[in-house]
Amino acid sequence: MLPPGSTIIGRIEKAHGLHGMLLAHLDPQIQISRLPRNPAHCWVELGGRWTPFRCLEFRHRIPHGILIKLDNILNPEQGRPLFQAAIALEDVQKPLKANTATSDQGWGLVSAEALQGATLVDKATGSLGQIVRLHHRPPQDFLEFMVGPQAVYLPMVPEFVKKWNADRQELECQLPEGLLDLYLNPQSGEAPESLPQEPHDED
């Protein structure tokens, strides 16, 4: 039985490097921004039972994974029994519902074509960059925008996307904490990629 208060976030796929680091792929329903930062421990399903492990390192790996270092896993061979095992964390925030704009926000009525080329503006920091396109990928739509040469993806939900200004062709938002760092300053040393698992956009 899954430990109370825990959520399955994905599966451990393989070793990453030679010193016991593991790569886990997240479930498509799990948003990286909703995961706890630097969790002290996690649960891994081994032989039908959930086993606790202490987390020594926990880093996001763009586009949709994590690099994790578990206590007593010192090399790839020790990590092998964990490959394909489900992994769970406590305190995972509930996923956001897609495209539930209120009437006063207005952006729920804006076409994808109208958004393309508009400016994304953060309430706190000002202009962020130009909107490239809206990706329809149920259950979660994503807004793609550019910060310099780097594409960044923002979930299209009222918590983050606030208001459309048609006169100025601006979409006001409030970025979730850590989103820009996730794309602009990846800790894994690898170049950021694109949306999770490259699914096809739906019409």
Q: How far apart are CA 61 and CA 185, in angstroms?
A: 11
> Between β-strands 161-165 and 49-61, what pairing exists: parallel, antiparallel or unpaired?
unpaired
Q: Is the dihedral of CA 68, 73, 76, 82 positive or negative?
A: negative
Q: How far apart are CA 92 and CA 102, in angstroms?
A: 26
- Please say if the pLDDT value at position 196 is more than 50: no
Q: How far apart are CA 175 and CA 28, in angstroms?
A: 20
Domain boundaries, the chain: 6-90, 107-184
Q: How far apart are CA 179 and CA 190, in angstroms?
A: 17
Report pLDDT digits (tens) over 106-165.
Answer: 555 567 777 889 999 998 889 999 999 888 765 667 889 998 888 888 888 778 888 888
Q: How far apart are CA 53 and CA 66, in angstroms?
A: 15
- Of 178, 181, 4, give the one whose Cα is nearest residue 91: 4
Three-class SS of 151-186: EEEEECCCCCEEEEECCCCEEEECCCCCHHHHHHCC
% of residues, the chain, pLDDT over 90: 35
Predicted confidence at residue 139, as pLDDT, reads: 61
- Please say if the pLDDT value at position 175 is more than 80: yes
Task: Report the top-level CATH class of 6-90.
Answer: mainly beta
- Least confident piece of the model among 17-21, 24-28, 41-45: 24-28
pLDDT band at 191 (very low <50, low <70, confident <90, very high): very low
Cα 6 to Cα 43, 49, 59: the distances in Å are 8, 14, 19
Q: Where are the beta strands (DSSP E) in the chain?
A: 6-15, 21-26, 41-46, 49-61, 65-70, 86-90, 119-122, 126-135, 142-147, 150-155, 161-165, 170-173
% of residues, the chain, pLDDT over 70: 79
Q: What is the CATH number of domain 107-184?
A: 2.30.30.240
